[in-house]
Chain A
Amino acid sequence: MSTSDAGQRAGTGIRYTTGKARVIVRGDAIVVLPGEGVAAGGADRVAHLWTDLAVPGSGVAEVLGALTASAVGGLKGVPPFAVVVLTSAGMGGPASAHVVVRGDGLTVRIETGDDVQTVSGAGVISWTERVVEGVTAVEVRTGASGLDNFADGLPVESGVVLAGVVRRQVVEHAEASAAGASVSTGSAASSAGVTPPPIASAPFAPAPITSAPITSAPITSAPGTPALGHSASPDSAADSGATAIPMGTVTMVPASEETITPADENRSEPPPPPEPPADDGLDEDDYMHLWGATIAHGVEAAAVRPESTEEGEDEEPAPASGAVSPPLPPPAPAAPPAPATPALAAAGSDGMVSGVPIAGVPGWSATPAAEHRAAAVGVEEADDDHDGHTVMSSAIADLKAAAPSPKFSVPANPNAPKILAVTCENGHPNPTARENCRECGSALSAQAALAPRPSLGRMIVTSGTATGGASGVRGGQVVELDRPVIVGRRPRTNNTSADQMPRLVTVSSPQQDISRSHTEISLEDWHVLVTDLATTNGTTLLRPGQPPRRLHPNEKELVSDGDVVDLGDGVTLTFEGIW
């Protein structure tokens, strides 16, 4: 086995053979993009992914989000890819692997001791996903051949390379260790413009980036003012009584690399304020000791009065603040071990992907049905039900026909709350009232149990206004109902936890008909509800066979499959696949 040559254990780590696929290695993730060799536009995507992967714990969800967000033309626009995220690797033992593969030519071999399983993107429309425990090695192949001898590969620790095969050896292979010493300094090493880092201590560390390989994303002049000043010295502020700290300016440019250096949080010494009078007569009440002392309490402990020792400690002369050098921990060395990524990933977590644009949706105002509907809504006040007020279901069918919705299953939102469900043999959750699975038709379990809530359907957002060119104007979008949605001209959210964060869907409203936050779509159990957010011009519900109905402000209305909701200014929301 390995001799005295400690630290050179070539038997583990990540190695690759040179090829044409762009491979990003960062943190616990390996992302393979075979279509992105040197293609234009690929660099942007690679740069995005690189940035995303810098976040501790980022994994499959982030990668899927980034790849699908930039896709044009629905699922077809999503490029082939393979993502491998290993957790609890680098500890010497087997790891847990989360693997997602899309596209024909890609295969991932997952080795668990002597067993090998292969995951391929062939034959499926979306992608193949697998979570495997006890993984000793993972190999992604873009062609037929593999990396037969691990030691023959070029090492990479963190960076972007052009590769044909990339292999991550978690547990040293018995055979590999013998050959470990003969690392061939490959001929093609520099072809990708990447200097292979030295074979660093093998257990993969998400530590310093040894090469800085991002092909620079187009940096639209980002005239940041990096010199966020240190100018104001503590004393210069003494006359103002406050400790003035320098101000600065920062220029933000969307989707460009920031060039701003972090400002020094210059917590300078305040000028000595007048000595506080000794805390004698606390005349107000016996809570006076709380002045300035913020106390954290659990809600449960709310009734408990803070211990009286508090007072003594807080008012006791403390060591001079100068003597207290806050032992700041060193700048984050990347991460704590990444938490296991939830088994399923969302196309875009946390509301960033507001929809998948549909290619080629005809302008809605052009369809006769839409005009009919517009007329019907316009004369609503006439209060006569039989001259066009009732929306014909055929008219709605026309509307829906104009917006073909792609049929593919979207992975569940990893942060989805759990709801009561019955599950089929393929693991699809269904409402308890159903007898067979809506997705695959197979029988459902008799026992209901809590399961992550799947998407509750889709909402197709259409706008009657021109969608060409102008930024901020969005045409047809399919919004997956795996989380709440707020639709408006300039929508905003309320305060909420990250996992409840709604998607924000911006629609254009040239007539200013639509309010900033106009309509909210909320999810409760298996139900989709729509609410008019007390808007100026209201929200109208068009339901087949019923007259158009204006929603009451701030009242939730249950959505049925096929409902169309009209926000005005030619913007409608069509609901499909509602349970």
Chain B
Amino acid sequence: MSDDALTLAWGAASDRGLRRQLNEDGYFAAGGAFFVADGMGGHAAGEVASATALDALRPLTDMERVEPHHVEALLEMAQDRVRAIDTSGQGHGAGTTLTGAVVAYLDDAPYWLFVNVGDSRTYLLSSGVLDQVSVDHSEVQEMVDAGTLTAEEARSHPRRHVITRALGGLDEARADFRYIPIGAHDRILVCSDGLTGELTDAQISEIMLGHPDPQVAAGRLVEAAIAAGGRDNITVIVVDATGIAQETAGSSTSPNGGFAADEDTVPRD
């Protein structure tokens, strides 16, 4: 597996949408690191916050091996810098979400190391199936987890924009991390909530599957979100993993129980 160089091809697009005067989103894509930040705060503070947080992640591109605690150290730095942003007495301070993925090797196997603070999202399109990788740090997500709200209701809930974790807030910005092995022909999507607020997962999946070129796919996603209302800033990165060996070949006997994640495990007997 280590003989196969992993190649990543990516495309990105960002738009302020139809209703907002500023684009407070930002993104960073380089050297195996792909992150989107959705800034918030009065006047330009959000724009500065997202740019500041993304800038703090730059050292990731120089690291040979990335581990969660490396990212955490950088996030702490980002947190400090975002807190230090002068909001000129505008009442609420600057803050930002930060979501994305960075390529990390465990032993010699390439993994996505997903990172999330806030309600921007990452998705993984693997073997034609789109799955949301990140879990939103939002009030409505907590209600969904508690069973008091369905995922569908959450989409239109009045408090859907209230997030429970962010960089720049008073609380410690505890990030979620997740390792998933990079599979052949994996495609990941990193996006701000301006995309997921306008498009359902099914619509996103259709566009992702319909456009092999990652730049075209990113552009189409943003266009579709604008067409659906464009009420927030929209930022999208689409990353394709190629060049890595196909997972061990083998007959794909369907499993006994129908566990999607294990469709290629062969039942005994």
B165:A536 contact, CB within 8 angstroms: no
How far is A328 from B48 in the complex, measured between Cα atoms in Å? 7
Q: Is the CB of A302 within 8 A of B106?
A: no
Chain A 262-277 residues near chain B, CB threshold 8 A: 262-263, 265, 267, 270, 273-274, 276
Query: Which single member of A47, A224, A310, A471 contacts B1 (CB below 8 Å)?
Result: A471
Partner of A299, one of B107, B142, B255, B266: B142
Closest chain B residue, CB of each to CB of A498: B68
Q: Are A302 and B164 in contact (CB under 8 A)?
A: yes
The answer to whether B256 has its CB under 8 Å from any CB of chain A is: yes
Residues of chain A within 8 A of B15, CB atoms compared: 241-243, 270, 273
**Binary contact track A296-323/B, C-beta < 8 Å → 1, others 0:** 1111001000110110011001110100
A309 to B264, CA, bound (A): 55
Q: How far is the CA of A535 from the CA of B29 in the complex (A)?
A: 36
A interface, over-half SS: loop
B17 lies within 8 A of A506 (CB): no
Enumerate B134-169 residues with CB–CB distance to A below 8 Å: 134-135, 139, 142, 158-166, 168-169
Q: How far is the CA of A39 from the CA of B262 in the complex (A)?
A: 45
A450 at interface, CB cutoff 8 A: no
Chain B 228-269 against A: per-residue CB contact (8 Å), 1 yes, 0 no?
001111100000000100011011000111010110111110
Q: Is the CB of A293 within 8 A of B40?
A: yes
Q: Which residues of B contact A58 (CB under 8 A)?
A: 70, 73
List, in ascending order, chain A residues with CB within 8 A of B31's CB.
Answer: 224, 250, 258, 260-263
Number of B interface residues in the complex (CB < 8 A): 131
Name the B residues within 8 Å of A250 (CB-CB): 7-8, 10, 30-32
Chain A residue with Cβ nearest B64: A51
Q: A471-B1, A568-B268 are in contact. Are A267 and B51 (CB under 8 A)?
A: yes
Compute how far the CA of A559 lies from the CA of B222 in the bound complex, rounded to whole angstroms: 51
> Which residues of the other chain, B, contact A223 by a CB distance below 8 angstroms?
5
- The answer to whether A12 has its CB under 8 Å from any CB of chain B is no
In contact, A318 and B108 (Cβ under 8 angstroms): no
- In the bound complex, CA of A319 to CA of B63 (Å): 38
Q: Contacting chain B: which of A125-133, A350-358, A458-466?
A: A350-358
- A112 at the binding interface (Cβ < 8 Å): no
Please determine whether A270 and B12 come into contact, CB atoms closer than 8 angstroms: no
Q: CA–CA, A71 to B148, complex, Å?
A: 51
Decide: A267 and B65 in contact? CB cutoff 8 A: no
B77 within 8 A of A: yes
A295 to B163, CA, bound (A): 6
Any A CB within 8 A of the CB of B186: no
A512 within 8 A of B: yes
How many A-B pairs fall under 8 Å by CB?
361
Q: Is A257 an interface residue (CB 8 A)?
A: yes
B17 and A252 within 8 A (CB): no
Q: Is the CB of B91 within 8 A of A309?
A: yes
Selected from B10, B16, B18, B257, the residue in CB contact (under 8 A) with A534 is B257
In angstroms, Cα B217 to Cα A244, docked, is 11
Whether A270 touches B16, Cβ cut-off 8 Å, given contacts A258-B64, A317-B21, A336-B77, is: yes
B15, B215, B226: residue with the most chain A Cβ atoms closer than 10 Å: B15
Of the listed stretches A3-11, A173-181, A189-197, A514-522, chain B binds: A514-522
Tell yes or no: B209 within 8 A of A by CB.
no
User: Measured between C-beta atoms, what is the minimum distance from A137 to chain B in Å?
Assistant: 28
Residue among A221, A247, A252 making CB contact with B10, cutoff 8 Å: A247
Do B265 and A536 touch (CB < 8 A)? Answer: yes
Interchain CA distance A250-B7 in the complex, whole Å: 6
Complex-state Cα separation, A2 to B74, whole angstroms: 39
Interface stretch, picked from A95-103, A116-124, A139-147, A489-497, is A489-497
Residues of A within 8 A of B214 (CB): 247
Chain A positions 325-357 with a Cβ under 8 Å from a chain B Cβ = 326-329, 331-332, 335-336, 349-352, 354
Q: Let me know if A248 is at the binding interface, CB within 8 A.
A: yes
A41 CB-CB contact with B under 8 Å: no
CA distance A351 to B69 in the complex (A): 10
Q: Which of A242, A309, A331, A515 has the most CB of B within 10 A?
A: A242
Q: Does A324 contact B (CB under 8 A)?
A: yes
Identify the stretch in A72-80, A199-207, A284-292, A360-368 within 8 Å (CB) of chain B at 4 or more residues.
Answer: A284-292
- Chain B residues closer than 8 Å to A249, beta-carbon distance: 7-10
A537 interface neighbour in B21, B95, B163, B267, Cβ under 8 Å: B267
How close is B209's CB to chain A, nearest CB, in angstroms? 18
Query: Which B residues are in CB contact (< 8 Å) with A240?
Result: 219, 223
A152 CB within 8 Å of chain B: no
Check B162 against A295 for contact (C-beta < 8 Å): yes
A247 near B61: Cβ-Cβ < 8 Å: no
From known contacts A243-B15, A514-B265, infer whether A472 and B109 are also in contact, taking CB-CB under 8 Å.
yes
CA–CA, A299 to B174, complex, Å?
13
Question: Bound state CA distance, A155 and B158, in angstroms?
Answer: 63
Asked if A420 is an interface residue, CB under 8 A from chain B, the answer is: no
CB contacts (< 8 Å) of A212 on chain B: these are none
Within 8 A of B (CB), among A154-180: none
- The chain B residue with its CB closest to the CB of A297 is B162
Contact status of A242 and B13, CB under 8 A, knowing A299-B142, A497-B176: yes
B residues within 8 A CB of A265? 26-30, 51, 54
Whether B69 and A498, one on each chain, are in contact in the complex, defined by CB atoms closer than 8 angstroms, is yes
A contact residues around B58 at 8 Å (CB): 262, 331-332
Closest A residue to B267 by CB, please name it: A536
CB pair A242 B68 closer than 8 Å: no
In the bound complex, do residue A273 and residue B16 qualify as a contact, i.e. CB atoms below 8 Å apart?
yes
Separation of A246 and B21 alpha carbons in the complex (Å): 23
Q: Is A252 a contact of B40 with CB atoms below 8 Å? A: no
Task: Check if A247 sits within 8 Å of B163, measured CB to CB.
Answer: no
Q: Is A370 on the interface with B (CB-CB < 8 A)?
A: no
Chain B residues near A245 (CB-CB < 8 A): 11-14, 27
Q: A243-B13, A248-B29 are in contact. Are A326 and B48 (CB under 8 A)?
A: yes
User: CB-CB contacts of A388-405 with B at 8 A, as 1s and 0s?
Assistant: 000000000000000000
Contacts of A294 in B (CB 8 A): 38, 40, 97, 118-119, 161, 163, 193, 232
Please report the C-alpha to C-alpha distance between residue A286 and residue B16 in the assembled complex, in whole angstroms: 23
Residues from chain B with a CB closer than 8 A to the CB of A299 are 142, 164
CB closest chain-A residue, reference B254: A536
How far, in whole Å, are A534 and B258 apart by their CA atoms in the complex?
A: 10
Among residues of A, the one whose C-beta sits closest to the C-beta of B135 is A495
B169 cross-chain contacts in A, Cβ below 8 A: 296, 298
Decide: A296 near B176, CB < 8 A? Known: A319-B43, A349-B69: no
Most chain B CB inside 10 Å of its own CB: which residue of A252, A494, A516: A252
Question: Which residue of the partner chain A has the closest CB to B48?
Answer: A326
Q: List 27 A-B contacts (CB under 8 A).
A: A51-B63, A52-B65, A55-B63, A221-B5, A250-B8, A251-B243, A253-B5, A254-B2, A258-B31, A265-B29, A276-B21, A290-B158, A294-B40, A295-B163, A296-B164, A299-B164, A313-B43, A313-B90, A321-B23, A321-B47, A324-B44, A327-B48, A352-B67, A471-B1, A492-B178, A515-B262, A536-B255
> Other than the known A321-B44, A513-B266, A514-B265, what 9 A-B pairs have Cβ atoms closer than 8 Å?
A47-B64, A55-B73, A262-B31, A265-B29, A324-B44, A328-B51, A329-B52, A512-B264, A515-B262
Chain A residues with a Cβ under 8 A of chain B: 47-48, 51-52, 54-58, 221-224, 228, 237, 240-258, 260-263, 265, 267, 270, 273-274, 276, 285, 287, 290-299, 302, 306-307, 309-310, 313-314, 317-319, 321, 324, 326-329, 331-332, 335-336, 349-352, 354, 415, 471-472, 474, 489-498, 501, 504, 506, 510-517, 534-537, 568
- 8 residue pairs, one from A and one from B, having the closest CB atoms: A287-B158, A247-B11, A292-B232, A498-B68, A263-B30, A296-B166, A242-B222, A247-B215
